[in-house]
Amino acid sequence: MPLARSVSVSSLPGLEDWGGPGAPDNVVLFEVAWEVANKVGGIYTVLQTKARVTADEWGESYVLVGPYVESSVRTQVELLEPPQPALRRTLAAMNAQGCKVGVMGSVMGSGDGLWGEKWGYGVREWANDAVLFGFLVAWFLGEFAAQSEERPFIVGHFHEWLAGLGLVLSRARRLPVATIFTTHATLLGRYLCAGSVDFYNNLHSFDVDKEAGERQIYHRYCLERAAAHCAHVLTTVSHVTAAEAEHLLKRKPDLVTPNGLNVRKFSAMHEFQNLHAQSKARVQEFVRGHFYGHLDFDLDKTLFFFIAGRYEFSNKGADIFLEALARLNYLLRVNGSEVTVVAFFIMPARTNNFNVESLKGQAVRKQLWDTANAVKEKFGKKLYESLLVGNLPDMNKMLDREDFTMMKRAIFATQRQSFPPVCTHNMLDDATDPILTTIRRIGLFNSSNDRVKVTFGDTGDICDTGGFLSSTSPLLPVDYEEFVRGCHLGVFPSYYEPWGYTPAECTVMGIPSVSTNLSGFGCFMEEHIADPSAYGIYIVDRRFRAPEESCAQLTAFLYGFCQQSRRQRIRNRTERLSDLLDWKYLGRYYTFARRMALAKAFPESFTYEPPEAAAGFRYPRPASVPPSPALSRLSSPRHSEDEDERYDEEEEAAKDRANIRRPPSPPGLPPGLPPTRN
């Protein structure tokens, strides 16, 4: 059976049309994951953003399978009737034997279709046990194959170890299913890195059974490893994780399938600078309140940096970021820089509520605003009446004693004896919290002498308290996306990051970011872009450098960014890389994985030829390049902040597109990572 039907995706701007194969006839794709309509981590984002492109390609032959979680079902899906006779018979057969199975359509997105036109199947299991979920998934796939009148070719794509048992049982029962297993991060790798071991330099020497047993995850590790070995095709999200899987799971992945985004959701066309200005104004309002009494810095010369993600202090690079901020503070002070940096740490922590000082700051700011408006109204009325009778106003009479008294009271209310708080919430384990402990060690207490200020905002994910970022927050009433647009730089110097959605989201919103060559995103950008820093993506070397050298490199990036003028920061090309991260481009890697699995499972009906090796395409250095942070002061003269130079965005984008070459077909996995230096 030929695999030749064009994929229904539009061409990418700057990239030629891709005439790859689409979904073959009489093939049904089941994608199985614990996070189908059940937000736990990053896999939820993968499935959510990829669903539209996959549904466009497969139509009603695309089915998502996940656990029935009551809270998620109420908000994300609606129960529907099965669209196909075979599915109706399958559900009826399983329900008749006491298993609660339902079909649901997504209601998560409306116009933009976050999940696309798809169907999902939820299995209601009270024990909330991944093993039970695996047995039910294998039962479902076997029942579907038995209930189909015309035997279809079934592709089962399983994500992570939580769905792995369904794959293992499908192979053990010899079900007619072509299986794919995607590991987004190895279980043992995450545990090892959390233990502060020299992970990548010792990757080849770990006794995996011993390490998994000592961490009491041996049963889960065995399940993950069995799924990796039983699958017809093993994929992972980056070359870094591929080398990790080869050593820890003892199988070399067949393909690397990078994670993408639904770029349409974030697309702002040429409005991203306007959106940045609007969101930045909201963040500035928070800063005015939070730092009241110590607001002795110019907000127009203040940069907002942030780090976000799971609270994994070392894995996410919060340790090296704090150390770099301390060094940046020193450099800005000794060089007499007028730039101030406010660094936000957006991570879930153990808290019980907003602290009083943070709430008081916003109350004081609002009181000042109300006072200013009241005086402005009285001033405006007197000015209007004076001009109405044809007289120039007497400025000495425009404000009376009552006005001055009101303003003096407002100024007195802003007096503060203590430093602005570092944390916006009351921490339950303040004395042992790693971020707060490090801040005490490096001495970043938000004093007036500090050019780097720190704010630790809890996301409210652990203790169910109010989050720092939400539309209902009393501190900063914006959602995460709007907050990111209001910042100047995202900093994600992760040590363990199989992919990294946070820098990817910054990229599609036009916000420069810092990543590392130990993250999947950083490696992907180094592979595809000749000079990432020219596009506002700065990659710290944590693979071949000692921690001290990596910290020095990160400090140089941050200090160089602070030296750029506003005009130079605006002229970044970050958003132009959005198409490179769109599922319309990256979804083809999943298509190749499905083709390979079908050819391995049904060799009499399908064939698969590995793509020819091709020279990797790389975005070249742009025709007109803003200086990289490390060279900004040497490569261009200093421009005033008020300079309004004409900048033709269309002309600059056309120059970049003219230099983009056709991307090759997704190649097979190259042989491992290069050896590390001693």
DSSP label of 21: B
pLDDT digit string (tens) for 212-235? 999 988 989 999 999 999 999 999
Per-residue pLDDT, 175: 95
Q: How far apart are CA 610 and CA 169, in angstroms?
A: 28
Per-residue pLDDT, 612: 58
Residues sharing a CB contact under 8 Å with residue 275, sequence separation 6 or more, in sequence order: 268, 485
Question: In the predicted model, what is the mean pLDDT of residues 71-99?
Answer: 80
In which residue are the tokens 């506002």 written? 536
Using alpha carbons, select from 497, 59, 46 the residue that is nearest to residue 257. 46
Q: Minimum mean pLDDT among 170-174, 415-419, 536-540, 607-611: which range?
A: 607-611
The CA angle 431-286-354, to the nearest 5 degrees, is 40
pLDDT-above-90 percentage for the chain: 47
What is the spatial order of strands in the sheet that 489-491 belongs to?
452-458, 340-347, 302-308, 489-491, 513-516, 537-540
Q: How far apart are CA 217 and CA 524, in angstroms?
A: 30
Q: What is the pTM of this model?
A: 0.82
Per-residue pLDDT, 652: 58
Question: 34 and 67 in contact (C-beta within 8 Å)?
Answer: yes
Joined tokens for residue 626: 């803003």
pLDDT tier at 209 (50, 70, 90 boundaries)?
Answer: very high
Which H/E stretch holds residue 70?
helix 70-76
Q: How far apart are CA 415 and CA 390, in angstroms?
A: 42
The beta-strand segments (E) located in 162-205 are 177-183
pLDDT tier at 650 (50, 70, 90 boundaries)?
Answer: low
Per-residue pLDDT, 211: 95
Q: How far apart are CA 33 and CA 115, in angstroms?
A: 14
Question: In the predicted model, what is the mean pLDDT of residues 171-184?
Answer: 96
DSSP label of 371: H
Per-residue pLDDT, 24: 76
Q: How far apart are CA 580 and CA 172, in angstroms?
A: 39
pLDDT at 291 over 80: yes
Residues sharing a CB contact under 8 Å with residue 89, sequence separation 6 or more, in sequence order: 147
Q: How far apart are CA 290 and CA 5, in angstroms?
A: 58
Per-residue pLDDT, 655: 56
How does the average pLDDT of the chain come out, rounded?
81
Per-residue pLDDT, 460: 60
Beta bridge partners of 354: 425
| Residue 180, SS3 per DSSP | strand
Q: Which amino acid is at 42?
A: G
What HEC string does 323-367 produce?
HHHHHHHHHHHHCCCCCEEEEEEEECCCEEEECHHHHHHHHHHHH
CB atoms within 10 A of CB 389: 6
Per-residue pLDDT, 265: 65
Per-residue pLDDT, 36: 87
Joined tokens for residue 665: 């077909």
Question: In the predicted model, what is the mean pLDDT of residues 435-455?
Answer: 95
Question: In the predicted model, what is the mean pLDDT of residues 581-587?
Answer: 89
pLDDT at 626 over 70: no
Per-residue pLDDT, 578: 84
Question: In the predicted model, what is the mean pLDDT of residues 57-83?
Answer: 81
Per-residue pLDDT, 403: 84
DSSP labels for 249-275?
TSS--SEE----B-HHHH--GGGHHHH
Question: In the predicted model, what is the mean pLDDT of residues 343-369?
Answer: 91
CA dihedral 7, 11, 14, 20 (to 10 degrees): 20
Per-residue pLDDT, 671: 43
Per-residue pLDDT, 638: 40
Joined tokens for residue 500: 């990294």
Of residues 626 and 200, the one with the higher pLDDT is: 200
Beta bridge partners of 101: 123
Using alpha carbons, select from 113, 200, 294 the residue that is nearest to residue 672. 200
| Residue 218, SS3 per DSSP | helix
DSSP label of 603: T
Q: How far apart are CA 365 and CA 292, in angstroms?
A: 7
Q: Is 542 exposed, middle or buried (0-12, 13-18, 19+ CB in 10 A)?
A: buried
What HEC string does 474-512 produce?
CCECCCHHHHHHHCCEEECCCCCECCCHHHHHHHHCCCC
